[in-house]
Amino acid sequence: MPSFKNLEMAAAVSTHENIIVKKSFFGTKVIYAPTQSPVKVIVREYDPVEGARLQRLLDMPISKMEAELQRKGKPATAQLGNYRLEVCLSQDHRFCALQLIRFENYKNHALFEPRYYADNDVEAIVKLL
């Protein structure tokens, strides 16, 4: 299971106004403050073709992305790929933060700053996972 502290976007997410990060001897707990819901970390990897498709989907408006997912389905994950999607998702699906990263020239490159979704938009993002 991926750890919050190992995410590329951990610093940015921990400064979000609705996120509480509690560090303890046993690990780090991340809480979505408005609902007190625990936040879990999800990491998915994609090959170059599916990763590029995922990037296009994430650049679409939510309604268009949902329609595209219904038509063609979600991008297929890979065991090891050069695209990595990092997601922080609250247990109640009211908050989501994500960032897409591409491994290129032996370095990770964030394709965009962390994006934050709340309420109904989160359900569309969950369909990607």
Across the range 32-49, mean pLDDT stands at: 96
Q: Look at residue 40 in the predicted model and tell me its pLDDT.
A: 96
Overall pTM surpassing 0.85 (yes/no): yes
The share of the chain scoring above pLDDT 90, in percent, equals 86
pLDDT band at 24 (very low <50, low <70, confident <90, very high): confident
Among residues 125, 55, 47, the alpha carbon closest in space to that of 93 is found at: 125
Judged by average pLDDT, the poorest of 7-16, 21-30, 75-84, 98-107 is 21-30
> How far apart are the C-alpha atoms of 112 and 96, rounded to whole Å?
15
pLDDT of 1 higher than 90:
no
pLDDT band per the 50, 70, 90 thresholds, residue 25? confident
| Tens-digit pLDDT profile for residues 41-81 | 999 999 999 999 999 999 999 999 999 999 999 999 999 89
Question: Which residues are within 8 A (CB) of 35 and not within 5 positions of it... i.e. 6 or more apart?
Answer: 90, 92, 94, 95
